[in-house]
Structure 1
Amino acid sequence: MSVSMQGSKSTVNEYLENLPDSIHSKLYKSPATCLAIFRLLPSLSKFYIMTLIFTENATVSYPELNKWLRTSPQHHSNVSDALHVSPAKLYRNESLKRLKSLNLIKEIRRQITNPNTGATTSVLFFRLNPIFRDSLRNALSGGNTALGNLTNTAAATTAVVKDEEGDVEMQNDLNGMFKDENKDEIKISFLDKWSLSKWENILHFMVGSELEELPSVGVLSLLKHSGLMETHGKNDDLMNLDKNENKEDYVEDDVSTLQNMKITKEGFQFLLQDINSQIWMLLLQYLKISERLMMNPVDVLNFIFVLGSLELGKSYKTDSLSSTQKIMLDDLIDYGLIYQRQYPEDSERKDNHFFPTRLATSLTSDSKTFRSATQVMNKSINQFDKNNPSKDNGAIIIETNFKLYCYTDSPLQIAILNLFVHLRSRFSNMVCGIITRESIRKALVNGITAEQIIKYLETHAHSQMKKQAQEKLLRKIDFESSTHTNETSGRDGKNHFTPELEIIPPTVIDQIKLWQLELERIQTFRGFLFKDFNNDLEFEKLWKYATEIGVLLWKDINKRQFFVTQEGNLQVVEYANRMLRRQRSEQSTPQP
């Protein structure tokens, strides 16, 4: 079974969790980094932090922490049911696990003496990381070090920025920045268009579009080492250089090879990800490469997280940046995350300011907000008329006969559609095509899954298709409700069926999945097989528990066997041990 790329937030968290505690301590000295990491946490983890951050000693006992999460009362029919973990507790455990893996909380055991009985009990306490606590408090309360030296100087170095209508949004002292105020104005619309062109230039190169200007060598090298593209001939790793080799000469010799790379299966999957997932994937690969180049990983991470806390359109000085972060500027400019004025090579003038673009300031935003590079920019650049719902740029209409119509003039979106659609006609603002078995099989062979194709079609569906799907859903719910009321009068209605929203015709969805099944007759899973039970009761208790926590993959009641995921094996084993200990305890207890 192929493993698809995960969302940006989980990927970033996984990278941070694997860092040593010493790196965590250095990272958490930056308020901007702490604020960015806080935004990436689950809701319950955020609640725990916000509850502890302003309390004395930032410490809470485990019993007290359990009171913060309200669980619905459950009626247990037997002992085994009482041992089941409720979804609320699973969510709590997962949230605490995330905090502990990021070194945000520490477990402390203290001996508590009961004042009445004098008995001593060991109680588990959780303590918020003091470094993280101080930095996040500064960031939230607006302390002097809220965003570090970088943003402290921003107020005095902000350039004039105008919005779409030309109104001045912010204006501060320009002394020492630019000589000509009128010529040096930067519009947010310009930053949006510039970053869009930079980012889509990378995506166009991946899909093989003809480009007037190719991405930089650094970008091409990053695409190769991230596994998104591969070279035809040489497979030399540009970053695995010998100590005596000159890095610049090595890269220059391989420029022609990099420019003729082809996309990989992972690259096809990459194109269908939301923009935050795309950016974070490249940035995480950039982090790995920077470690090989002996760049300070703390400086690199801090600067990336600081970018997510900066304000769009403001100018920031480069004087307070470290040497590592100044090296990063050129690379981030190539990705479209940062804009910096460029002057002629013969000019002695050098800009010591930079402007974060929307791609940078949205790094720690909800990835679901931005569907693609084109949409995130169009949302800000093109303010659609709300009174004209027919204006759906990039919207897709698909019929039950598999014919597809897409209202777009974007070469990038057309290139993406061409990955799984047989395009037949192209007009000034629309392309027409049909989804065929061959076009879907071609996409599947290239690593795109049926779920990705369906998700892409649903995400970019025309507003009329979504409206019709909602109306159809409401009619189904009304019909099911009336039917359910008549059938269950006087009976318990627990098996009530809830209709789902069907934006894409079900026949199209089912057929795409069937075409995928043709190539995936067998799916493999890593896990553990449980067998050789003493009786049916043991077998039934364990497989039902595995089903409840969502780790059961297969079972055979006749053979008394079931199979669980690799991740869920430990929970099932611990549950089995609890059952065994309880049975032994009951057997050793003398009967009256």
Structure 2
Amino acid sequence: MPSVEHNPDSVTQSEWSPHILLTFLQSQSQNALTRLYQRPSSCLSIFRLLRPLERQLIMNILWLESATPLSTMSAWVTQEGKKPYSDSLSTLARLHIIPNSTTKLALNATFRASLRQAITGGGTTGSFGVPAEPDPQHSPPDIATLDAYALERWETILHYMVSSGTGQHPTKPSQEVLFLLQRSGLMTRVHGGVLQITSSGFQFLLHDPHAQLWELLLQFLHMAEERQMDLVEVLSFLLMLSTMELGREYSTENLSPTQSAMLADLRNYGLVWQHSTSARQFCPSRLATTLTSSSPPLPTSRSTGGGSHDQGFIVLETNYRLYAYTDNPLQIAVLNLFVNLKSRFPNLVVGAITRESVKKALANGITADQIISYLTTHAHPQMRKNKPLLPVTVQDQIRLWELEKNRLKSQEGYLYTAFASQADYEYVLNYAKQLDVVLWDNPTKRCFFGSLDGHANIRGFIERRSAGIA
């Protein structure tokens, strides 16, 4: 068996960061995870989300019939790999894939059996979906049609978010989607019941498509029990979708009631396609089939930059001028969050990053690092020849504008003033300083400002002193 080594140069940082779904699964009970692990498709999908070292550990013991002593496994670990190895064991234990033991190492029996079946095939559980019989009346859509459908549904959600409060009237998503956006804190209702994007929503728009999709799906999972839906069934269906074949129709006959009810929600997000709401077949879109992979969820998307041709479209100069080679309204709307747009041509938008435009973005909850990250991610291929990629002067100035915003810090408290004498003022001030609750004081004006936590004690002290007790 190969030794367990840690080579930081062999993987990218994003591969080593834990997936948002794994964090959610770690908070679930062992019984719920064991039920989930009964499906081979769920085990395979979770395996794909794990970090390389965790996958290697699982494969090393997957085909062993008995537990392996931890001392034997530790002997394979190099000195540099001890911490990553320990972290990986901890993650697998929290997912209940391995027992939390200090002596032996073995896979959860249910997980082991299901993953073996997923790798070798066999069984009739329909865990990976049951292909539908051809329907002579309705032919399945081709992949290009599926991509266009998913793109239209997804961009409708994003464009509605970015256009809220601007006076524009984009296509409105379904009420279920709007409720989810509100529930997740990405949008909120203001005067008149109108939905308005929040600071979290602005940050959401700068995330990559995979992160955006999983953030919404995670909120969907949190709402499952509230909607009287079986959480394990919801999870297993999402993970099953991620293992299906793009462009193939699957039958709804073997779906549970919870999973059948999910189809309507998943159509709203563009994850599945059906020719009618009562159809007995459905087609997963690329948004669904890439849920647990590193492939772009929308390779033909103009807005998300998922495709190799669309990923880089921004040119940024040292004089803060920005050129965006795009004609997509959503991309332009996102840039408008932190760029002062000046000119628009058929396939080009020209603008500048200014103090006012950055301050507007900061006021909406977008950070300087998020702006820089977005510019880096969507930089034009021509810019990628530069080292560093973005002009250092522009990066530093964006951060300096953020520091301007953070110079002042507000804190709730009480202002104590109108003391009868200097002696009274100093007496109460000294008491407040002993409590370490004084935030500011001015001896000339006989006043000081105390924190919220110390108000009850200071008020009681003043009252006792006034009564002649202190």
Q: Which TM-score bucket, shorter chain as reference? A: 0.7 to 0.9
Q: Residue deviations 1:489-536, cap 9 Å, x none?
A: xxxxxxxxxxxx411111111111111111224899xxxxxxxxxxxx
Alignment match, 2:319: 401
Alignment match, 2:149: 194
Which of 349, 353, 357 aligns to 1:439? It is: 357
Separation of aligned partners in 2, 1:448 and 1:373:
23
Alignment match, 2:128: 151
1:446 partner amino acid: N
The DSSP-based 3-state class of the residue aligned with 2:99 is: strand
Alignment match, 1:338: 272
Instruction: Give 1:213 shift.
Output: 3.2
Q: Residue deviations 1:159-197, cap 9 Å, x none?
A: xxxxxxxxxxxxxx62xxx223xx624110000000000
Instruction: Give 1:90 shift.
Output: 1.4
Alignment match, 1:364: 292
Q: 1:370 to 1:512 in 2, by over 3 A?
A: farther
Alignment match, 2:139: 184
The DSSP-based 3-state class of the residue aligned with 2:314 is: strand
Instruction: Give 1:378 shift.
Output: 6.4
Q: 1:271 to 1:230 in 2, by over 3 A?
A: same
Alignment match, 1:423: 341
- Residue pair 1:196, 1:377 contacting (<8 A) in 2 also: no
Q: Residue deviations 1:120-141, cap 9 Å, x none?
A: xxxx112210000000000011
Q: How many residues align?
A: 392
TM-score, length of structure 2 as denominator length: 0.79
Q: 1:98 to 1:325 in 2, by over 3 A?
A: same
Q: 1:207 to 1:273 in 2, by over 3 A?
A: same
Separation of aligned partners in 2, 1:33 and 1:375:
30
- Residue pair 2:40, 2:127 contacting (<8 A) in 1 also: no
Separation of aligned partners in 2, 1:370 and 1:48:
32
Q: 1:278 to 1:373 in 2, by over 3 A?
A: farther
2:81 partner amino acid: A
Alignment match, 2:5: none
The DSSP-based 3-state class of the residue aligned with 1:105 is: coil
Structure 1 residue runs of 5 or longer lacking an equivalent are 1-6, 72-86, 110-123, 158-172, 235-256, 344-349, 385-391, 470-500, 525-592
Which residues in structure 2 correspond to 1:133-532 (within 5 Å)? 133-145=112-124, 148-149=125-126, 151=128, 153-154=130-131, 157=132, 174=134, 178-180=135-137, 184-208=139-163, 210-211=168-169, 213-233=171-191, 257=193, 260-342=194-276, 350-366=278-294, 374=302, 379=307, 395-467=313-385, 469=386, 501-521=387-407
TM-score, length of structure 1 as denominator length: 0.63
Separation of aligned partners in 2, 1:216 and 1:411:
21
Instruction: Give 1:150 shift.
Output: 5.2
Q: Residue deviations 1:288-341, cap 9 Å, x none?
A: 111111110010000011111111001000010000001100000000000000
1:518 partner amino acid: E
The DSSP-based 3-state class of the residue aligned with 1:325 is: helix
The DSSP-based 3-state class of the residue aligned with 1:92 is: helix
- Residue pair 2:324, 2:349 contacting (<8 A) in 1 also: yes
The DSSP-based 3-state class of the residue aligned with 1:292 is: coil
2:136 partner amino acid: K
Separation of aligned partners in 1, 2:304 and 2:69:
44
The DSSP-based 3-state class of the residue aligned with 1:290 is: coil
Separation of aligned partners in 2, 1:354 and 1:450:
42
Instruction: State yes or no: 1:90 paired with 2:83.
Output: yes
Percent identical across equivalent pairs? 43
The DSSP-based 3-state class of the residue aligned with 1:106 is: coil
Instruction: Give 1:227 shift.
Output: 0.4
Q: 1:232 to 1:107 in 2, by over 3 A?
A: closer
Alignment match, 1:67: 75
Separation of aligned partners in 1, 2:158 and 2:275:
24
Structure 2 residue runs of 5 or longer lacking an equivalent are 1-15, 411-470
